[in-house]
Each structure stands twice: as structure tokens, then as C-alpha cells.
Structure 1
Amino acid sequence: MKQSMNILALDTATDITCACLHVNGHDYPAALDGGQRIRSTGIMPLLTGLLEQAGLEWKQLQLLAFSQGPGSFTGLRIGAATLAGINAGLHLPVLHLSSLAVTARQAAVTDQLWVVEDARAGEAFVGCYQDDAAVMPERCMQWQDIVSQLPPGRFVCHAEPPVAMPGWQRQPLLLDRATALGQQVQAVLPAQDKQCALPVYPAPAYMQLSQAERSAHAR
């Protein structure tokens, strides 16, 4: 059951930047499809447009939600910085969401489902879900270890896997990401009397070393 709150959610973990505004039991999803330059300049107009569409002012928001990753380093940094800037004056609680759980929700299935998202550098972000709940901790794995160590099953991803995955069955992403983002907010939203314990600063979950960190470790 949806809570009657004004909630603004932002997801910049994938190539598609999306947001969803929840107002009076209704979701307003929207997406911004483009590269990093479009992302960095387009997020605020995207969010402002949602507020205007719903007839809402910034000061009427009650909670922010952040798809914290794992995902694109640059995307997560941009998203976190944007919400941090917005929240500097609002001081709202920030609900942190798993970007892999949002992807799982795009498949619109309740049976066990793997999410395997390419993380580059020969690695992937991996999660497993059933009935909208994680059945194992999310992790970053080498692609060859996924094939050799995990039991084949149904999976979803945004980019084509860079390796052959015999026995695995890729499933379509049926829901647009902005709609799935709004659904995930409602699925994990704590009761209102517990929301005061949420942080006010968005914290990305990178789950992987940056290229600069990799270079430093290699020295």
C-alpha cells in the first residue's frame, strides 16, 4: 500500500537517468536518455519538470530517494552531488535504494531472478532476487567466476554480456526504469515514524575500485 507522501526519487546508476515523483498516491515517472554531458546538465530540468507537472514546490517534498548503486562511477557521483545540493536547504531524509533491485523490478517477475550488470574491467555487479527481495548479498564478480561458480538461471541486464553464458536465460526488461524506480521506493519505504533515522546525505555504493584506485594499487 502506497504511503501518502511527497517523495522524489533519482536514479543515475545506468546510462538512462530517470526520476519518479510520488504525490498523493500517484507516481510521475520521467527519464533522460543521453550521455554524461546531457546527464550533468539535464537532471535539474528533469526534476523541476516533474514538480511542475504535479503542481508541487520543492519545500513540499517530504523525502528523497537515491538509487545508490552499484553502477556507473560518474553517474553515481553526479546523482549523489545533485541530491546533496538539493537537500542542503531541505534537510530531508534520504532513502537509499539498490540499483540492481530496481533492475530486477523492471523484469516484473516474482520467481528467482539474477541481475548481472556489466561493470567493465572484466567484472559484473551481481544480485539475486525472489518475490522482490534479495536472496543473497549483492557483489562484484569476475565474469568467468559467474559462469563457473553460480548456478545458471534466469537473468536480466542492460548491456549484452561480454562472455558466453551457457544455461542462462536472459529475460526482457518489461517495465521502464522510472516506473520501476517508483515501485521500488514504495516496496522498501519504512514507516513514517522510522524515517527520521534515515541519513540526510546520499552515499553511493560503488562496490568496485575506481580506475585511479586501480592504478594506485598497481604501483
Structure 2
Amino acid sequence: MNPKPTFLAIDTSTEACSAAILHANGCVWRDEMTPKAHTTLLIPMIEALLAETGLKLADMAAIAVTRGPGSFTGVRIGVGIAQGIGFGLNKPVYEISSLEALAAHTAFPGRVIAAIDARMQEVYTATYCRQHNVISVEGCEVLCSPATLMGHALQYADESAVLLAGTGWGAYEPTFPLPAGWQIKPNQYPHAKAVAELAYQQWLQGKKGVGADSLQPVYLRDNVAEKSKKVKLLHIDK
């Protein structure tokens, strides 16, 4: 089997900001809650991880990034920086759903209904199930009202291992008593460590990622047409 590739992963899709490097000996990461300072903190995080591992950006096999949905500005920052690194080093980029990264980071062994607060009385949501340590989506990502989210969750009322995870569940608490065995983690966020691990799973499946020029953010809102801008990554040696 080929040796494990080295990935640089970043997430800026919500109030949380994180970066991680997955390499042959494990995974290292940095994270911080910073609603309006992603650009300021992300590059120093990457520099710190490179220093800790003794690696350079040129050593990365690929970049992995959350492509949304989430904060419009945050998603654009992450996608733009991933594009900048991908273009600069001619590296592929693995696009990871913010909701999938959120669900994966919980490490919950059953069904996860991930929900991110989308403001304007709406949430981004998708449902995931983990089997044999591999997480898969059921259905698709949607933008919906809190009432629709509640109705969707109640479809699984007969199940005993369900986790309601993410800021959507903090902004709009369940309007029904939680069935026995259910859990709720409203302060759960996507994380770069999970992004790196999900990209590695894609690599194991033979997926190659996409070119930096093909990377696009996912907003889910039809009235958001602004494309991500390429962001130059400065002050980091290749």
C-alpha cells in the first residue's frame, strides 16, 4: 500500500477557525473561536503547524478545505486561501462539506443530524451515518426553516442513537422532547482535523481532488452569486 499522503486542511466556514496537517505519523492542528479574524489567524496557524512538523508547503500532497455551506465571508476566505496554495504549488484540492466535517468531528457512532445556523430564520442541514468508521451522507444538504428541521429530525424518533449537532440546534432548540438515547451538542463546529481525515478517506477511495481553478464555494442560498476570490498566501516558505 502506498504511504499515507500529507494533507494541509483548513476550515473557516463558521465562527471557528482551524488548520491541520495530516502526515504519516499522525495529525496536528490549531483552532480558535474567532468570528471575524479568520484571515489574521489562519496563516500563522499554518506556519506554526509547518514549524511543528518540520514540513514545508511543497511537502503537501494536497490541500483540503471546507467549501461550505456556512458563513459567506468565512467560506470565501477558506476557499480563496486553498486556491492560492493550490495554484502556487500546483497541488490538487479536496472539497469537503462543512456539514460533513461537523458530523465527522463529533465521532458519534450513530446518526448525526448536522445543522449550522444560516441566520434569517434558516439553517443549513444534512444527515449522516457512521458505519465501520466511515461517515456517509443520507440525502443531500439543504437550506430550510427550523420547523422543517424539527420535522426531519422526528422521522428518526424510533432510533436510539441520534445526535443533533451544530449551531443550528443552538439557535433553534428542539421543539420536542428528545427521545431516549438522543444527544444534542449545539456548540459543535466543523474542524480541520476532520477535514483532513475526510480528504484521506477520499484518497483511499481513489479520488484525486480537483484543480484549484475548479474549486467553488457552496452557499445553498440562490441569491448569493458571489464567487470566491483567489487569495495570495504570503510569508510562508515553500
Native 8 Å contact 2:6 2:21 kept in 1: yes
Alpha carbons 2:102, 2:189 under 8 Å: kept: no
Aligned-pair CA distance for 1:180: 2.7
Secondary structure (helix, strand or coil) at the match of 1:207 reads coil
* Change beyond 3 A, Cα 1:127–1:175: closer
Aligned residue identity for 1:141? C
| Residue number in structure 2 paired with 1:203 | 216
Matched residue, 2:194 = 180
The one-letter code of the counterpart of 2:117 is: D
Q: Counterpart in 2 of 1:56?
A: 55
Label 1:143 to 1:92 Cα distance change in 2 as closer, same or farther (>3 A).
same
In structure 2, the CA distance between the partners of 1:174 and 1:41, relative to structure 1 (3 Å rule), is closer
2 CA distance for matches of 1:176 and 1:30?
13
Query: Secondary structure of 2:212's match?
Result: coil
What is residue 139 of structure 1 aligned with on the other side? Answer: 142
Residue 75 of structure 2 is aligned to residue 81 of structure 1: no
> Residues 112 and 2 of structure 1: is their aligned pair in 2 closer, same or farther, counting only changes over 3 Å?
farther
User: Structure 1 pair 175/41, CA: closer, same or farther in 2 (3 Å)?
Assistant: closer
The one of 137, 143, 157 aligned to 2:166: 157
Normalised TM-score (structure 1): 0.83
> Could you tell which deviates more after superposition, 150-159 or 41-50?
150-159
Following TM superposition, by how much is the alpha carbon of 1:175 offset from its aligned partner in structure 2, in angstroms? Answer: 9.4
Q: CA offsets per residue over residues 151-191 of structure 1, 9 Å max, x none?
A: 25531113513354214444337898343333323233345
Deviations 1:90-148 (A, max 9, x none): 11110011111111112212212211211111111111011111111111111122224
* TM-score normalized by the length of structure 2: 0.77
Aligned-residue identity in percent:
23
Which residue identity is paired with 1:203? Q
Instruction: Give the distance between the partners of 1:33 and 1:66, measured in 2 at CA.
Output: 17
Give 3-state SS (helix, strand or coil) of 1:203's partner.
coil
Matched, 1:21 2:21: yes
5-14 or 156-165, larger mean C-alpha shift: 156-165
Distance, in Å, in 1 between the alignment partners of 2:192 and 2:109 is 19
Ranked by relative contact order (alpha carbons within 8 Å, sequence separation 6 or more), the top structure is 2
Higher relative helix content: 1
Instruction: Using the TM superposition, give the Cα deviation of residue 56 of structure 1 relative to its aligned residue in structure 2, in angstroms.
Output: 0.8
Question: Partner residue of 1:10?
Answer: 10
5+ residue gaps, structure 2, are 157-161, 227-238
2:33 paired with 1:33: yes
SS of corresponding position for 2:118: strand
Q: CA deviation at 1:212?
A: 8.7
- CA distance in 1: counterparts of 2:75 and 2:193, whole angstroms: 19
State how many pairs are aligned.
210
Could you tell me which residue of structure 2 aligns to residue 217 of structure 1? Answer: none
Structure 2 residue identity aligned to 1:77: R
